Amino acid sequence: MNITQFVEHSLGRWRSQRSAHHLIFSHFEAVQSVIDIVPLSPDDEEVINLCNSYDIAPSLAVSPFGMSWEGESDWDDNAQVKGSCILVPVPDPIIPNRGKLLRDQGYAETIAAAGDYHITEDGTFVLLTSYDRAAAEEKIWFANPNLRFRVSLIKTSEGSGVVTASFSSEIRSLSDNKIDT
């Protein structure tokens, strides 16, 4: 699995069931959402701007894509969860299946972020992102073409303490219907 294949497999609409474990308080959070992943053109102005903001030549970008999500959490009176971002993989020119992933908005903080990705032998996409006061580690893999899993860890910036661990089961939505809630 290379990054182009990984992005291709990810395109489409997904119904997501996410459980977050807030480890210090042993708290469980449940989130249901719909995630849309759409391809972007390498010529897209937002893609070019994002590359430029990291001093990376836009010609090095591969398979840029947009992601949006909308759902509900049981954390805070069924708070709405909603957002979108664009993501631009920039493969390492030398080492295969490794590179940077530029993002115009991170998960853990609402600022742009560049993470380091690699794809393991067994097809797991691993992304490590450092923020000012936190670090995030994400693993995404496919059980089959219509089912993918995602484990996300939010760590302290020192990297060893895990504050939140979350797990998503994402099922490809074969209709255009929004999730039943």
CA dist., res. 44 & res. 48, Å (int): 6
Query: Does 174 contact its own copies by CB under 8 A?
Result: no
Query: Does 56 contact its own copies by CB under 8 A?
Result: no
Element (H, E) at 88: strand 80-91
Q: Rounded to the nearest whole angstrom, what is the least distance from the CB of residue 148 to its own copies in the complex?
A: 10
Nearest to its own copies of 49, 80 (CB atom): 80
The one segment of 23-31, 40-48, 77-85, 103-111 that binds its own copies by CB under 8 A: 23-31
Could you give the 3-state DSSP secondary structure of residue 111? coil
Q: How many Cα atoms occupy the beta-carbon half-sphere of 98 within 13 Å?
A: 7
Q: Rounded to the nearest whole angstrom, what is the least distance from the CB of residue 100 to its own copies in the complex?
A: 20
Nearest to its own copies of 41, 74 (CB atom): 74
Q: Of 68, 105, 130, 169, which lies in the binding site for its own copies, with binding defined by CB under 8 A?
A: 169
Q: Rounded to the nearest whole angstrom, what is the least distance from the CB of residue 165 to its own copies in the complex?
A: 5
Count of residues interacting with its own copies (CB under 8 A): 27
CA dist., res. 92 & res. 72, Å (int): 37
Query: Does 21 contact its own copies by CB under 8 A?
Result: yes
Q: Rounded to the nearest whole angstrom, what is the least distance from the CB of residue 4 to its own copies in the complex?
A: 22
Pattern 81-120, its own copies, x by CB under 8 A? ---------------------------------------x
Could you give the 3-state DSSP secondary structure of residue 105? coil
CA dist., res. 115 & res. 120, Å (int): 16
Query: Does 23 contact its own copies by CB under 8 A?
Result: yes
| Position 156, amino acid | T
CA dist., res. 168 & res. 129, Å (int): 18
Q: What is the DSSP letter of 179?
A: P
Tokens 């990376």 label which residue?
A: 56
